[in-house]
Amino acid sequence: MKQFRTKAALASLLAAGAMLSLPAHAGATLDKIKKNGQVVCGVNTGLAGFSQADASGNWTGLDVDVCKAIAAAVLGDANKVKWVPLNAQQRFTALQSGEVDILSRNTTFSLTRDASLGLHVTGVTYYDGQGFMVTTKSKIKDAKQLKGQTVCVQSGTTTEKNLTDFSKANGLGIKPVVFEKVEAATGAYFSGRCVAYTTDASGLASVRNKEAKNPDEHLILPQLISKEPLGPMVRRGDDEWFAIAKWVIHGLLEAEEYGVTQANVDQQKSSQDPVVQRLLGTTEDTGKLLGLDKEWMGRALKAVGNYGEIFERNVGPKSALKLPRGANNLWNKGGLMYAYPVR
Amino acid sequence: MAVAPRTPPKKRDWSWRSQAFRGLLYQIIAVLLIGGAAWFLAHNTAENMRIRGIQGGFDFLKSPAGFDIGESLFHFDSNDPYWKAFAVGVSNTLRVAIIGIILTTILGTLIGVGRFSRNGLVRGLCQAYVELFRNVPVLLQLLMWYLLFTELLPEIADARHIGPFFLSKGGLSFPVPEWSSSHYFTMLGGLIGLGAAWWWRGRTQKRFEETGQLGSMFLIPAAIIIAAALAGWVAGGMPTTWIVPKKGEFAVEGGGSLTPEFMAVLMGLVLYTAAFVAEVVRSGIQSVARGQSEAAQALGLSRGQEMQKILLPQALRVIIPPMTNQYLNLTKNSSLAVAIGYPDVVSISNTALNQTGRAVECIAIIMLVYLTTSLSTSFFMNWYNAKSAIRER
């Protein structure tokens, strides 16, 4: 009996070890996706405008649409995505271990993350900055008035460090109250435990519109204290897959720049503009170089529309979040969005 | 090892049927398998991290943390290294655990003893308490207390005060004596008093065993300690300056303060664990033979004396081992504090994990911290258990 128990314990140990041993498939992500018929996409557990599931399990949002575009380009069907909701702490491990193929979860790019986590940044899908939300009752108009105040923040984000840097640079002595879950952090702010809540400005808009009882009672301070370029990440070691994700994003931007929309993508196939012809694969086969077919970008655009449409639908002035296009406008319209040439 | 029944036993019989040989073989196999499994896990993790270009190692502990911590027992600056941030986390965990264990023991014992009260109302209330608090998950209780504190207390800007005590969503602020070197005299006096009280209790105990005369085991020793501390304070020049909290423009400033996070964690853990401790105490008292109680009554001891002198000392032997479990549970449950924003070691480690990406290392540190505190608690309680066990002659 005793020996049996020892053996059982050992067997379970070995089983645990086998589960920990990560699948080694460098360069094989695309093959795996084609074989399984689905892209596994890591998204936020719930951030209005970026990734959010409705009552029937349909995901919507800017980050979600990027994954849909990739699925449409690779598999020909924007719905062939398995959504894996991840919190801030799980996200990198999930990508590193191969649980997800791509992490499209309002994640900031930074040197440490790029250089030490074994991940690759594919492209920026949203230029953000960290801000503060306060109650109008507090009469705070400027972030520098937060001297000695408590600020609610979610753990496991760059937000915590930015807050500290800002507090230190201005000698404010801000006291952070750090919560594991975003719901707990916003809950504590709405109950009045903290004078301010801090996260990326887009996140603040999302929280104010979706969670505040009366959005007018809350003010998002105009001052941004950090630069937060957000976008999807992939694992290192599979350059083929990295290139696909990167070029789908650039394709979405290029389409907006050249006026290809979800509605007119079929008419545009007869366009005489060589850029559009290349993008939609009517002349050159750009998809072949990526290991895809020539219709790749056409399908992505048909599924979710170009970047401008994705923005308008999910977070733009007409959506619930009412975020201005600002830095996320195209480069030739005063923004930072600049597509590399798809050729 | 079982000895072969045949006599005289052969020196050693190295066949497959030899029990000694098989025993040795099984042990070697077991050690090899465990060692192999450990090596496999460690090697596999390291290898996969290397392949994926994930950097590892504990060198990050020396680099600056770069984040602030809301509450800390000692000064912490964001330029301080990670190991110091972890130290703050550990100190916050221990603060909750130690204060929690003391309060739980007091509350749990009172409720456990209350279940033997002759007053039906007290008995019923104690039972209701136990059933209510031990049957609701502790995380839910923590969240409930935190919600109550943050929803019901007044806004930070208009904190209520009773005398020098301020209460608001920012927490409880209270006056603290301003530290001066003369307070060392008070502490010295207190220490001398503690020694004197110890001596007094020993003397009383001895006198009781020799003559059967009862003496004060608590009130007079307590008075001795207080008197000695007061004498030390007088000798130190009677410093009377206190730092009293004041209402500032936006918040209450100065003095000592307890955050709502700390109060919610402490309250949740104490009330929850006390229900279990009460049951432990009750079972311990019930384990004492009925004759002991009857004998005490026959001797004319009062109900209080019976409990204090006869029942509790004997019950202690049954109480201590399960009590250790409850202490360990309380300490480990304090990790739930992360849900309500209390910066315990898990919370700090989560932040560190995300800043550095060193998941394996940070989790290992958490495990080490809880293992160390739990083993220390067990060690102490085992020592205490051995001390209060029946001495067999």
A255 falls within a domain? no
CA separation for the pair A273, A254 (Å, rounded): 13
Q: Which of B30, B66, B354 is opposite residue A156, by nearest beta carbon?
A: B354
Residue A313 distance to chain B (closest CA, Å): 32
Q: Do A116 and B169 touch (CB under 8 A)?
A: no
CA separation for the pair A35, A37 (Å, rounded): 6
Note the pTM of the prediction, 2 decimals.
0.75
What pLDDT does residue B215 have? Answer: 75
Domain C-terminal end among A192, A226, A260: A226
What pLDDT does residue A24 have? Answer: 37
Question: Is residue B158 within 8 Å of B152, Cβ to Cβ?
Answer: no
Domain shared by A192 and A52, yes or no:
no
A104 falls within a domain? yes
Domain C-terminal end among A169, A194, A226: A226
Residue B305: which pLDDT band, with cuts at 50, 70 and 90?
Answer: confident
Give Cα A44 to chain centroid, integer Å: 8
User: What's the whole-number mean pLDDT along residues B277-284?
Assistant: 95
Q: Do B68 and A177 touch (CB under 8 A)?
A: no
Cα separation values, A130 from A98, A107, A224, A321, B94, Å: 30, 13, 5, 16, 34
Residue A15: which pLDDT band, with cuts at 50, 70 and 90?
Answer: very low
B30: which chain A residues are within 8 Å (Cβ-Cβ)? 6, 10
Residue B241: which pLDDT band, with cuts at 50, 70 and 90?
Answer: confident
First to last CA, chain B: 28
Residue A288 distance to chain B (closest CA, Å): 27
User: What's the whole-number mean pLDDT along residues A328-333?
Assistant: 95
What pLDDT does residue A147 have? Answer: 87
Domain shared by A49 and A108, yes or no:
yes
pLDDT(A11) > 60: no
Domain shared by A143 and A212, yes or no:
yes
pLDDT(B4) > 60: no
Q: What φ, ψ does residue A23 adopt, rounded to 5°?
A: -65, 135
Whether the CB of B170 is below 8 Å from some CB of chain A: the reply is yes
What pLDDT does residue B93 have? Answer: 95
Give Cα B390 to chain centroid, integer Å: 26
Domain shared by A222 and A304, yes or no:
no
Q: Do A155 and B354 touch (CB under 8 A)?
A: yes
What pLDDT does residue B129 have? Answer: 96
Residue A272: which pLDDT band, with cuts at 50, 70 and 90?
Answer: very high
A75 falls within a domain? yes
What pLDDT does residue A19 have? Answer: 44
Residue B359: which pLDDT band, with cuts at 50, 70 and 90?
Answer: confident
* Token representation of residue A224: 């941004």
Residue of B nearest to A22 (CA): B48
pLDDT(A330) > 50: yes
Residue pLDDT, tens place only, A106-135: 998 888 888 888 899 999 999 999 999 999
A92 falls within a domain? yes
User: What's the whole-number mean pLDDT along residues A171-194?
Assistant: 89
Domain of A174: which CATH number?
3.40.190.10
Containing A202, the helix (H) or strand (E) segment is helix A201-211
A336 falls within a domain? no
What pLDDT does residue A1 have? Answer: 44
pLDDT(B2) > 60: no
DSSP A337: B
Q: Do B251 and A118 touch (CB under 8 A)?
A: no
What pLDDT does residue B257 have? Answer: 82
Cα separation values, A195 from A224, A307, A331, B146, Å: 17, 36, 37, 17
Residue B6: which pLDDT band, with cuts at 50, 70 and 90?
Answer: low
Domain shared by A91 and A143, yes or no:
no
Largest Cα span, chain A: 80
User: What's the whole-number mean pLDDT along residues B362-386?
Assistant: 92
What pLDDT does residue B182 have? Answer: 77
Residue of B nearest to A113 (CA): B357
User: What's the whole-number mean pLDDT along residues A224-245?
Assistant: 93
pLDDT(B352) > 60: yes
Whether the CB of B247 is below 8 Å from some CB of chain A: the reply is no
Domain shared by A109 and A45, yes or no:
yes
What pLDDT does residue B87 have? Answer: 94
Inter-helix orientation angle B260-287/B82-114, to 10° = 40
- The residue assigned the tokens 């051995």 is B386
CA separation for the pair A257, A242 (Å, rounded): 23
Domain shared by A139 and A173, yes or no:
yes
Domain shared by A222 and A241, yes or no:
no
Burial class (CB in 10 A: 0-12, 13-18, 19+), B133: buried
Q: How many CA atoms lie within 13 A of A246 on its CB side?
A: 15
Question: B316-346: buried (b, 16+ CB within 10 Å) or exposed (e) per residue?
Answer: bebbbeebbebbbbbbebbbbbbbbbbbbbb
Residue pLDDT, tens place only, A286-311: 898 899 999 999 999 999 999 999 99
Domain shared by A221 and A235, yes or no:
no
Whether the CB of B57 is below 8 Å from some CB of chain A: the reply is no
pLDDT(A4) > 50: no
What pLDDT does residue B8 have? Answer: 60
CA separation for the pair A290, B282 (Å, rounded): 72
A257 falls within a domain? no
- Please report the beta strands in A122-195, taking only residues with DSSP state E, as ranges in sequence order: 126-128, 130-135, 150-154, 175-179
Residue pLDDT, tens place only, A46-98: 888 999 999 898 999 999 999 999 999 999 999 999 999 998 878 888 998 89
User: Considering chain A, what is the average pLDDT of its residues?
Assistant: 88
Cβ-based contacts under 8 A for chains A and B: 141
Residue A138 distance to chain B (closest CA, Å): 9
What's the domain count of chain A?
2
DSSP A108: B
What pLDDT does residue B238 have? Answer: 76
Domain shared by A42 and A101, yes or no:
yes
User: What's the whole-number mean pLDDT along residues B194-212?
Assistant: 87
Q: Do A237 and B51 touch (CB under 8 A)?
A: yes
pLDDT(A17) > 50: no
* Token representation of residue A12: 């379970």
Residue pLDDT, tens place only, B323-349: 999 999 999 999 999 889 899 999 999
Residue A10 distance to chain B (closest CA, Å): 7
pLDDT(A314) > 80: yes
A117 falls within a domain? yes
Q: Which of B54, B70, B150 is opposite residue A175, by nearest beta carbon?
A: B70
User: What's the whole-number mean pLDDT along residues B220-230?
Assistant: 88
pLDDT(A250) > 80: yes
Residue of B nearest to A24 (CA): B48
What pLDDT does residue A27 have? Answer: 54
Domain shared by A98 and A169, yes or no:
no
Whether the CB of B258 is below 8 Å from some CB of chain A: the reply is no
Q: Within a 10 A sphere around the Cβ of B118, how many other Cβ atoms?
A: 7
Domain shared by A60 and A148, yes or no:
no
User: Considering chain B, what is the average pLDDT of its residues?
Assistant: 87
A290 falls within a domain? no
What pLDDT does residue A113 have? Answer: 85
Residue pLDDT, tens place only, B20-65: 888 899 999 999 999 999 999 989 888 888 887 777 788 889 988 8
Residue pLDDT, tens place only, B98-157: 999 999 999 999 999 999 888 999 999 999 999 999 999 999 999 999 999 888 888 877
Q: Which of B78, B250, B355 is opposite residue A168, by nearest beta carbon?
A: B78
Q: Looking at this protein, which amino acid is placed at residue A46?
A: G
CA separation for the pair B275, B131 (Å, rounded): 8
User: Domain containing A64: what range?
Assistant: 29-127+230-250+298-323
Residue B250: which pLDDT band, with cuts at 50, 70 and 90?
Answer: low
